[in-house]
Chains A and B, each alone.
Chain A
Amino acid sequence: MKVTVEQIDRQCEEEMIVRCHDPGAAWVESVREAASGQRMICGWREDMMRRLKLSEVFYFEVVDDRSFVYTQAEVFEAKEKLYEFERLCAGSALFRCSKSMVLNTEKIDYVRPSLSGRFEAVLSNGEKVVVSRKYVADLKRMLGV
Chain B
Amino acid sequence: MKIITLWIRRYVTVYGIIMLCTFFMCLLFNPASELPVVTYFGRIMVFTLIALLSLSVYYSKEELTVKAWWVRTVLHLLLLEAVLLPLAHHWGFWQSGSDILIYAGFILLAEALWHLADYGLSAKTAAQINERIRKNRLDQRTRKD
Contacts and interface: CB of A to CB of B under 8 A. Distances in A.
Contact of B119 (A109, A111, A113, A143): A113
A110 interface: yes
B132 interface: yes
Interface in B115-141: 115, 118-119, 122-123, 125-126, 128-130, 132-133, 136
- Interface SS of chain A: helix, strand, loop or mixed? mixed
Nearest to B134: A110
Interface stretch (B20-28, B35-43, B62-70, B98-106): B62-70
Categorize the interface residue count of chain A: 20 to 34
Interface residues of B, number: 21
A72 to B, nearest CB: 17
Contacts, number: 57
A137 B3 CA distance: 12
Contacts of B64: 116
A133 B58 CA distance: 13
Interface in B78-107: none
Central interface residue in B63, B64, B133, by most chain A CB within 10 Å: B133
Given A114-B66, A116-B64, A130-B63, A108 B133 contact: yes
B132 A145 contact: yes
A100 B130 CA distance: 23
Interface in B23-77: 61-64, 66, 69-70
B132 A143 contact: yes
A139 interface: yes
Contacts of A99: 61-63
A3 interface: no
A78 B133 CA distance: 29
A136 B115 contact: no
Contacts of B115: 115, 117
A100 B63 contact: yes
B129 A111 contact: yes
Contacts of A116: 64, 66, 69-70
Given A116-B64, A143-B136, A144-B132, A111 B126 contact: yes
29 contacts: A100-B63, A110-B126, A110-B133, A111-B129, A111-B133, A113-B119, A113-B122, A113-B123, A113-B125, A113-B126, A114-B66, A114-B122, A115-B115, A116-B64, A116-B69, A117-B115, A117-B118, A119-B122, A119-B125, A119-B126, A130-B63, A140-B128, A140-B129, A140-B132, A143-B129, A143-B133, A143-B136, A145-B128, A145-B132
